[in-house]
Amino acid sequence: MAAPEVHNDTDKRQYSLIEDGEVIGFAAYEVDGDEIRFVHTEVDPAHRGGGHASILVEHALDDVRSGSLRVVPQCSYVAAWIERHPDYQELTTR
């Protein structure tokens, strides 16, 4: 089994978590000006509990970090993830 990959699907406005060619999770977002609002994160129930949501959010935030958008974590999972990872908290305040 290959490691999951994360792709920014700009047409769907979501970061997609792909494993073995199948989308198993996503982090939906909206962009408004200089903000990216993460509004919903979901992982297929068959893949929950394996750290997939954390992989998804970390990759998505790393991608955002490479640009100039400020993160607004409206999704409770993304907000909690950022709270647990202090090195990502700067993304919410720039």
Among 35, 32, 34, 36, which Cα is nearest to 57's? 36
The count of domains in the chain is 1
**Domain limits for position 46:** 5-92
CATH of the domain at 11: 3.40.630.30
pTM (predicted TM-score): 0.94
* H or E segment to which residue 16 belongs: strand 14-19
Tokens of 48: 């929950």
Walk along the chain (94 residues) and give the pLDDT tens digit of each residue.
678 999 999 999 999 999 999 999 999 999 999 999 999 999 999 998 999 999 999 999 999 999 999 999 999 999 999 999 999 999 997 5
